[in-house]
Amino acid sequence: MKQLAKLLVALHRDESGQDLIEYALVAALIAFAAVAGMNYVAAEINNAFSKIGNKLSNAIS
């Protein structure tokens, strides 16, 4: 029983896995920001092409 308690205490003190979790959280945050930013950029590009298309249609008519 003492060995199990020592093992649990040693695992509790071991912080080597925390770095991986922190990097994963940072990567997820960057990915979320990139997706949100790309959605905005895509909408703006779509609006710009629509305006250009409307102007060209009006110029031809």
| Residue 41 CA from chain centroid, whole number | 16
Instruction: Give the torsion sign (CA, 55, 58, 56, 40).
Output: positive
Is the pTM higher than 0.85? The answer reads: no
* pLDDT higher at 3 or 45: 45
38 pLDDT more than 80: yes
Q: Which of helix, strand or coil describes residue 30?
A: helix
Over its C-alpha atoms, the chain yields an Rg (Å, rounded) of: 27
Amino acid at 10: A
**What's the token pair of residue 6?**
């020592």
